[in-house]
Amino acid sequence: MDFLTLRGIHHTYFTKTSAVTALNDISLDVQEGEFVSFLGPSGCGKTTLLSIIAGLLDPTYGQVKLEGKSVKEAADKTGYMLQQDYLFPWKTIEENILLGLKVSKTLDDTKKKEVLSLLRQMGLENVESLYPKQLSGGMRQRVALVRTLATEPKLLMLDEPFSALDYQTKLKLEDLVSNTFKTFGKTAILVTHDIGEAIAMSDRIFLFSPSPGRLHKTFTIPEELRNLTPFNARNHSLYNELFKKIWKELESIEPEEN
Amino acid sequence: MNPKKTELLHQQYLKGLSRERKIVRLYQLLIFIAFFASWETSSQQKWIDPLLFSSPSKIWNLLIEKTMDGSLAVHIGVTLAETVLGFILGTLVGTVLAALLWWSPMLSKILDPYLVVLNSMPKVALGPILIVALGTNLSSIVAMGAIISVIITTIVVYTAFKEVDPNYLKVLQTFGATRTQSFREAILPASFPTIISTLKVNVGLSWVGVIVGEFLVSARGLGYMIIYGFQVFNFTLVFLSLFVIAVFATVMYQLVELLEKKLIKNNQ
């Protein structure tokens, strides 16, 4: 059985003056433990689709099932990471990473120890009692990752989580995230408009075309690249080949922009 | 540049700062002395009518006298209690109303025109009705102190609630937070700075409400002292009340500022 299934997802945003269709007939499956990317130009409804999968938004039509259950019922199995870290500035790092457990009322001493040790595994020592503004951007995004992982979600959704970081930090975090997810056997969906990031991190790439958002093409990343860390994958010859292929495909779906 | 020279420049900079501070203090003191000295002299020399404008020395003597017989302390105590109560009540009720409006967008849409009308209405005009409804006692004066700040608090705090970055709510929703949890974890703490700044405004407003309330009820308190002094043409008493009000209103404002520093130490 598929882990995550999307069937015939349509979504239309209504305003007083217009009805804008953001997503048109999206159907796809994701296997357990897989890392997939939603790639596409802006306006192709990637973030809308991610919100629908996260159960934050109800699709106009269509069904999303996670392990056979609707995503609303399976809310505790999903985790969501935003573009910026959105750590709560009035909470300490410890309070921030325990937030999910506190909200779901599953916080106990064992869980707390686990989460704090996860923080150390991410290379963050002695930051528990600090406030977010005292950390650098990269550190904050790592804290946000710990916060997302703390509730032990099976499916992780990453909405351009590296886009606000500088290039070096971004490459390091890609490796860290990729490693962590492989170790814990997490399923993940990454939304991005960065072709390189999608190739380096994923097992499969779903390419979307804009207005209205449709699934344009699916790319399967070759085994050789998948087994490499994102940083090493970027240096592989297959990476460049694939990059060109996807680049051409992207050019073909947005000709009016040139 | 060598470190010694940097050190020297820093010393000079600090000296400059302290010199500036001294000059500011000096001029503040000069204004204070000049004002009271010219008031005292012009009153003594009858350049102004001493019956109407009194004089600092007369006010001072009255202060001593009223402090000695204990009547001033009673009036201050009453007014202070009313103001603090009205202030706390106004801020609390206003914040709770704002929370209700945030809770139910439907309610906020329905109540919107009423809030606009109530906000533009001069609340002190409700004084006579409050006195009829609650009686000529402490409760109607406290109600005046509260009612004057409650609507504006509701509007300002509600706006702050709405302006909290929706992404904080998104984070909480992905954890399956209820609306109550979202309010407690994100909306309220994120709005603390705004709530504190409305507190500052409310200090002033509550004083206005309470003094006007005491004008109307005319039984006890600093507002009563003003209206009584006015009726028996004892303007020394009026001025004394004004100074006491100025002192206590300032102290209250400073206390709120202190609270602000304590609460918002680690934020933003």
Question: Which CATH number goes with the domain that contains A158?
Answer: 3.40.50.300
b/e B105-131 (16+ beta carbons within 10 angstroms → b) = eeebeebeeebeebeeeebbebbeebb
Q: Note the pLDDT of residue B265.
A: 62
pLDDT at B197: 86
Interface contact flag, B189 A90, Cβ < 8 Å: yes
Q: Smallest CA–CA separation between B102 and chain A, in Å? A: 19
ipTM over 0.90: no
Our count of domains for chain A comes to: 1
Name chain A contacts of B176, Cβ cutoff 8 Å.
Answer: 75-76, 103-104
Beta-bridged to residue A155, according to DSSP, are: A78, A187
Contact of A75 with chain B, judged by CB distance below 8 Å, is answered with yes
Model pLDDT for residues B87-100, shown as the tens digit of each residue = 999 999 999 999 99
Question: Is A175 within the bounds of a domain?
Answer: yes
Give A-chain residues touching B167 at CB under 8 angstroms: 82, 84, 86
Q: Which of A86, A149, A157 is the best mutation test for B, with the most CBs of B within 10 A?
A: A86
Nearest residue on chain A to B182, alpha-carbon basis: A103
Cβ of B174 within 8 Å of Cβ of A80? The answer is: yes
Q: A103 lies in a domain?
A: no
SS3 A81: strand
Contact B127, B141 (CB under 8 A): no
HEC string of chain B equals: CCHHHHHHHHHHHHHHHHHHHHHHHHHHHHHHHHHHHHHHHHHHCCCCCHHHHCCHHHHHHHHHHHHHCCHHHHHHHHHHHHHHHHHHHHHHHHHHHHHHHHHCHHHHHHHHHHHHHHHHCCHHHHHHHHHHHHCCCHHHHHHHHHHHHHHHHHHHHHHHHHCCCHHHHHHHHHCCCCHHHHHHHHHHHHHHHHHHHHHHHHHHHHHHHHHHHHHHHCCCCHHHHHHHHHHCCCHHHHHHHHHHHHHHHHHHHHHHHHHHHHHCCCCC
Range of the domain at A36: 4-85+154-257
Point out the residue among A75, A80, A86 whose CB comes nearest to the CB of B168: A86
What is the reported pLDDT for B227? 92
Of B170, B174, B186, Cβ closest to residue A88:
B186
- Stretches where chain B sits below pLDDT 50 are 268
Per-residue pLDDT of chain A in tens (258 residues, 90 and over written 9): 678 888 888 888 888 888 888 888 888 888 888 899 998 887 788 888 888 888 888 888 888 888 878 877 777 788 888 888 889 988 889 899 998 888 888 888 888 888 888 888 888 888 888 888 888 888 888 898 889 888 888 888 988 888 878 888 888 888 888 888 888 888 999 998 888 888 888 889 998 888 788 888 888 888 878 888 888 888 888 888 888 888 888 888 765 544
Q: Classify residue A98: in a domain, yes or no.
A: no
- Whether B256 and B203 have beta carbons less than 8 Å apart is answered as yes
